[in-house]
Amino acid sequence: MCKEVSAAGPNGYSVAVAVRILILSNNIVSPIWPKVIWGNNVPSKVMVFHWLAIKNSFPVKDVLARRCILPPSQSKLCVWCMVEIETIEHLLLHCKWSSSIWTDQFRWWSIRWIIPRYIVNFSFDWFYGMGFKASRFWKLIGPSTIWAIWSARNNVFFNCKFTCRSNVVRSIKLKAFLWETNLKFVHGLQAYVWEHNPFLLCQ
């Protein structure tokens, strides 16, 4: 147990270490989701957001209403379609507006994929959904997309500003490319290749 704590350093601890301590203390098999969320090469705020989504804990209208935070007079409908209740799965995965963004991502990578019903299944499938060479790039696209959808939703909810879907798609590609550049997966001169045929970077 002391070795696990010391791995975090003398002045603090990490989430990964805390999870391992919890697992060891309860003699259970390590679940897959810590690797899917905390083992990804995305900014910490995106990891936390993804984690909260899986735990059904971030403040979409449905969650706020169940916690008696959303005023009864305020609509619980999705800000995009104004038809379905704004749940986590609907907002991030299944709303027609969000679904069109995912369709663009799949077309970009020249693949076909059926979006799972739940965000937890989506996260597992996405994390393991590509071969070894492409996976380091692919793993960044899913978190980047759900973060962009959430950011665009907040811009509507708080500022009454609707973002064009094509601009959201463009921001996803750019953000993922910047993350990959910081990770030394690519360099700046490969931006054109990334935008038009990302599989060329996986060879």
Using alpha carbons, select from 48, 17, 35 the residue that is nearest to residue 9: 17
The tens place of each residue's pLDDT in the chain, 203 residues long, gives 333 333 444 445 565 565 555 445 544 444 566 677 776 788 889 988 988 898 888 899 999 999 999 998 899 999 999 999 999 999 999 999 999 999 999 999 988 888 999 998 898 888 887 776 788 888 889 989 999 999 999 999 899 998 889 999 999 999 999 988 988 888 888 989 988 889 888 87
Does one domain contain both 4 and 103? no
Is 198 within 8 Å of 130 (Cβ atoms)?
Answer: no
Does one domain contain both 99 and 7? no
- Paired tokens of 150: 């959430």
Is 179 within 8 Å of 41 (Cβ atoms)?
Answer: yes
In a domain, 120, yes or no: yes
In a domain, 67, yes or no: yes
Report the distance separating Cα 200 and Cα 203, nearest Å.
Answer: 6
> Helix, strand, or coil here: 85?
strand
Does one domain contain both 19 and 65? no
* CA-based R_g, the chain, Å: 19
Does one domain contain both 145 and 167? yes
Q: How many CB atoms lie within 10 A of CB 91?
A: 27
> Helix, strand, or coil here: 77?
strand
Report the distance separating Cα 100 and Cα 76, nearest Å.
Answer: 22
Report the distance separating Cα 75 and Cα 85, nearest Å.
Answer: 9
In a domain, 37, yes or no: no
